[in-house]
């Protein structure tokens, strides 16, 4: 088979060597904590990569599993003394594995298959993407504001989409939504190396029929052009994964051929914090509970939004705010990102349960986050592992305290 060699990756081989000779980040890695294996933290994975490269070993299932058993949370990058861009390296390795036909791991390819067929990673009907909109909420077809909903809020957690729209309506904004014309933001595809690959479908006689090529760039270009054509100038996100991807990945795919993105981007926590600073947000209710905040990796470490959610929570009447020991840049991953939950479901729930127990150690009765995936995984941990704590997102609190539910 074709040799898997570092010169084919878009990274500096010296950085791979430096990372592989170090173990500084081992004890902060949620994957290592879960699997207790040297191959399951940044330095160990790249040590494994070097072994396969230098000994010219064939890529096998154990190597692919190790590469994908990572949530790309960037805690390792935060702890790295020389700031090796590990997440970029591992995403490039995953992309290479897909090119070789060895990745993605397990059934992660299903997300890509469904995205090509239905424009979302769940394989749901594209015509139903906006079915969550209720008659007592308002959207527009000519507003300069847009709300990019994302696959998960559209199909799996519609209460998040509904709450975000009600929040915007409260402040007099009737945003445009793309509905059936909104395609996956490509976060799950980019994170799992499925940037471009052929997609096949098995026929009745057992043969594999080629049905098309999955190309993340085409999804991104479609979404950008949809917003541009509709005159959208400001885009709000409730999904931290979508926000991270639009902020960091879309420009990378779009800029070289088309220039800068023709709209501004803002996460709903930034939007709310700004309203608070301007004196445009006065809480109508109180929340007499002890609350801690969980920093989503994509919103926190990846794009640097740490204080806006805390400013919002600390302003709520009756709320006692407490911090977990590991917070902000040192926050522990919930276990849902980077394809980890999709590929290692029960392990992801274990990671979430440990984080919820850290929240309980503070005396908190409620853990609040601002990410649809964190909420989803935490709720799974409450249900499957019996952790007794309330799980909310920022928008849930807003709707409840403003009497909009």
Say if residue 308 is in the same domain as residue 186: no
pTM listed for this prediction: 0.93
- Six token digits for residue 208: 């594999």
Asked whether 239 and 296 are in contact (CB, 8 A), the reply is: no
User: Of 187, 188, 121, whose CA–CA distance to 155 is shortest?
Assistant: 121
Other beta carbons within 10 angstroms of residue 299's beta carbon come to: 27
Q: What is the pLDDT of residue 199?
A: 93
317 inside domain: yes
Residues 44-78 have pLDDT tens digits of 999 988 888 888 888 899 999 999 999 999 999 99
Query: Residue 4's pLDDT band (boundaries 50, 70, 90)?
Result: very low
Domain boundary among 272, 299, 325: 272
Share of the chain above pLDDT 70, in %: 97
Residue 335 sits in a domain whose CATH number is 3.40.50.1860
pLDDT-based confidence at residue 163 (cuts at 50, 70, 90): very high
Q: Each residue of 76-134: pLDDT tens digit?
A: 999 999 888 999 899 999 999 999 999 999 999 999 999 999 999 999 999 999 999 99
Q: What is the pLDDT of residue 14?
A: 81
Domain region containing 54: 6-99
Same-domain pairing of 113 and 163: yes
Domain co-membership, 375 together with 289: yes
123 and 70 in one domain?
no
DSSP for 286-327?
---SEEEE---TTTTTTT---HHHHHHHHTSTTPEEE--SS-
């Amino acid at each position: 088979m074709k040799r898997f060699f570092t010169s084919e990756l878009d990274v500096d081989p010296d950085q791979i060597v430096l990372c592989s000779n170090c173990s500084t980040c081992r004890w902060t890695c949620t994957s290592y904590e879960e699997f207790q294996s040297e191959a399951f933290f940044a330095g160990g994975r790249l040590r494994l990569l070097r072994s396969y490269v230098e000994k010219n070993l064939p890529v096998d299932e154990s190597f692919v599993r190790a590469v994908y058993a990572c949530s790309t949370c960037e805690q390792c990058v935060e702890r790295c003394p020389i700031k090796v861009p590990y997440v970029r390296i591992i995403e490039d390795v995953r992309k290479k594995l897909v090119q070789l036909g060895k990745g993605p791991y397990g059934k992660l390819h299903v997300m890509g298959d469904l995205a090509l067929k239905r424009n979302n990673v769940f394989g749901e009907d594209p015509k139903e993407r906006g079915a969550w909109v209720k008659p007592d909420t308002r959207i527009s077809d000519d507003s300069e504001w847009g709300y990019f909903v994302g696959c998960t809020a559209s199909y799996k957690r519609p209460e998040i989409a509904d709450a975000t729209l009600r929040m915007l309506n409260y402040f007099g904004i009737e945003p445009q939504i793309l509905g059936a014309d909104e395609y996956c933001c490509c976060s799950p595809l980019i994170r799992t190396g499925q940037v471009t690959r052929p997609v096949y479908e098995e026929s009745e006689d057992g043969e594999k029929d080629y049905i098309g090529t999955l190309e993340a760039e085409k999804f991104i270009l479609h979404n950008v052009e949809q917003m541009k054509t509709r005159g959208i100038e400001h885009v709000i996100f409730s999904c931290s994964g979508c926000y991270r991807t639009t902020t960091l990945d879309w420009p990378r795919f779009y800029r070289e051929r088309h220039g800068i993105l023709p709209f501004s981007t803002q996460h709903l926590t930034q939007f709310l914090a700004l309203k608070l600073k301007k004196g445009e947000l006065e809480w109508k209710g109180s929340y007499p509970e002890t609350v801690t905040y969980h920093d989503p990796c994509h919103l926190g470490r990846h794009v640097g939004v740490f204080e806006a959610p805390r400013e919002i929570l600390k302003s709520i009447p009756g709320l006692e705010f407490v911090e977990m020991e590991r917070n902000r840049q040192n926050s522990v991953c919930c276990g849902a990102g980077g394809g980890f939950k999709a590929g290692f479901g029960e392990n992801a729930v274990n990671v979430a349960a440990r984080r919820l127990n850290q929240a309980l150690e503070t005396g908190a009765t409620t853990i609040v986050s601002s990410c649809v995936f964190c909420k989803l995984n935490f709720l799974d941990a409450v249900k499957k592992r019996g952790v007794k704590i309330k799980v909310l997102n920022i928008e849930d609190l807003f709707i409840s305290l403003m009497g909009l539910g």
